[in-house]
Amino acid sequence: MAYALVLGAVLAVLVVLFVARPFLREPAPADDRLDEPGALEKRRLVLVEERDRALDALKELEFDHRTGKVSDDDYREQLGPLRRRAAETLRALEPRAEGRQERVSSSR
């Protein structure tokens, strides 16, 4: 039984050390806050997702047209709005450096 206690105690100590590791590595950190994306970073993420969706939709439209699922008329009709949306999201993403800057500063 004594061996069991020793083994259990060793296991417990190892576990406690592993769980306490973040506190042992940084006993007195300058900043202990979880980084949180700021408003600009959140906006960037929304725009990036919208951009990816718009580009993906263009690719899908192109592919569906080439495989015959979209007629020539439908293709022409849908292409314009999709291109415009993709261009809008790309334009909106241009000043993204500010968003990055904000994220970096908030994580420090």
CB contact at 8 A, 36 and 106: yes
Q: Least distance to other proteins from the beta carbon of 24, Å?
A: 10
DSSP H or E stretch at residue 93: helix 72-93
Instruction: Please report, as ranges, the residues that interact with other proteins according to CB under 8 A.
Output: 1, 3-5, 7-8, 11-12, 15, 18-23, 26, 29, 31-37, 45-46, 48-50, 52-53, 56-57, 60-61, 63-64, 66-71, 73-74, 78, 96, 100
Pairwise CA distance, residues 56 & 39, whole Å? 26
Encoded tokens for 70: 């979209």
> Which of 8, 91 has the CB closer to other proteins?
8
